[in-house]
Amino acid sequence: MILSDRTIREELAAGRIVIDPMGVNAVQPSSVDLRLDSAFLVFRNHTRGIIDVKQDLSDLTELVEVGDEPFILHPGEFVLGSTLERVVLPTDLVARLEGKSSLGRLGLLIHSTAGFVDAGWDGQLTLELSNVANLPITLYPGMKIGQISFVRMTTAADVPYGSAAVGSKYQGQRGPRPSRYWENFRTT
């Protein structure tokens, strides 16, 4: 069941959902608007000839902090950004992150495949920003970039995200973080 604005406000007031800092008028009928932070991970395509998912690729991106200045996302470009807000979920709620319709109509995608947020999550959400338009898109720190909706699970998760048994790679992240998919190939 997707939470309504009333239930979202109740969960926020009870501290079960945390969105910090909360934007003014951010609660929508069935979601909460999230804003863009000022840090981006830009791909340094000249460092590698191929993306090998078995390899640590932390050197593939470079952190660019724009402060209050705009960031220009060029046609066909893919960068990682993050939400300004830290999001914390209880063990019985999951969330879906989606783009804003008006931005989608300009050719901006905010996630490739990672729009799902597990129960127990705590951290800023990394955005997979793509420009599928034919013109550059100007992104401004603090602008509304997406919306998050919440779904109540049938029961609380026995092993929520962040638990050692799950092997959560991104719990507690601040700012955009590069892929750690390569860790799936490590032998223990």
Closest of 121, 115, 139 to residue 42, by C-alpha: 139
* pLDDT tens, position by position, 77-104: 999 999 999 999 999 999 999 999 999 9
pLDDT at 159: 93
pLDDT at 15: 98
Pick from 51-60, 69-78, 178-187 the range whose average pLDDT is largest.
69-78
Active-site pick, 11, 69, 77, 128: 128
pLDDT score of 187 more than 80: no
pLDDT at 93: 98
Say whether pTM exceeds 0.85.
yes
Average pLDDT for residues 9-13, to the nearest whole number? 98
Is residue 11 flagged as an active site residue?
no
Question: What CATH homologous superfamily does 5-178 map to?
Answer: Deoxyuridine triphosphatase (dUTPase) (2.70.40.10)
Backbone angles phi, psi at 81, to 5 degrees: -130, -170
pLDDT at 188: 53
CA distances (Å), origin 146, targets 24, 111, 157, 185: 15, 10, 26, 32
Identify the DSSP state of 188: -
Kind and range of the H or E run holding 81: strand 78-88
Under 8 Å between Cβ of 140 and 36: yes
